Amino acid sequence: MPRIQAPTVAEHRRRQERALLDAARALLAETPEAPTLGAVGERAGMARSSVYQYFASRDDLLAAVVADVFPEWAGQVRARVESAGGPGERVWAYVCANVELFASSEQSVARALTAVVEPHLLRAPMQAFHAELQVPLLTALTDLGEPRPRQVAELVDSMVVQVSRSLGSGGGGPEDAPRDQGEALALLRRLLAGYLGLSPDLPADPAGDGPGPAPRSR
């Protein structure tokens, strides 16, 4: 029986499951194919037989990854917005957090999940994810005095998606499309700064409203 490296059996199982989910996400970030349980176990440093103690099948594992990633991504964006100051800064924090997700390896995970998970299994988590993301944005826009916060929120999301589309795709897109996260944020800042009451230039401190560290692949 493997030695338990945790205070309790329950904590040991939690850590092992976390290691498997992290391994699956790392593999999904590297290739748009569903990883085998053996590959996930190897990445996590566990025997294939041990993986079956936590997940009965590859589909079981992928469903757990879906249940893990969407709330986490939404939590990252929400925390970034809530840490900002006034309503204009909060809208901008929302923009930054979403662009950073597009620019990070997490976008590869999202694309891989879309390719390997049955659409009906993704539908509800994705809807919940987008609904949760809208809450802090709508609140910030309302606090900003926007009379049509829902319509403006849709416009903000559309701009973020459009500007971020070429990020992480090897520079695909129009010749003048942003080549990296910094260019994407600079363009969005110029477009939104006047409306949000912010300077059109990105702050010098990347820990503020500018590009921050991209989320790590877990």
Are the CB atoms for 95 and 192 separated by under 8 Å?
yes
For the chain, the domains span 1-56, 65-213
| Residue 210 to residue 212: CA distance in whole angstroms | 6
Q: From its phi and psi, is residue 2 left (phi > 0), alpha (psi between -120 and 50) or beta?
A: beta
pLDDT at 20: 95
CATH, domain range 1-56: 1.10.10
Helices (H), the chain: 9-30, 37-44, 48-51, 58-82, 87-103, 105-116, 119-143, 149-164, 181-196
pLDDT at 5: 60
Which of 79-93, 128-142, 170-184, 186-200 is least confident? 170-184
Q: 74-98, pLDDT tens digit by residue? A: 999 999 999 999 999 999 999 999 9
Fold of domain 65-213: Tetracycline Repressor; domain 2 (1.10.357)
Cα→Cα distances 115→21, 35, 40, Å: 18, 12, 18
| Residue 218 to residue 213: CA distance in whole angstroms | 14
| Residue 188 to residue 176: CA distance in whole angstroms | 14
* Other Cβ atoms closer than 10 A to 96: 27
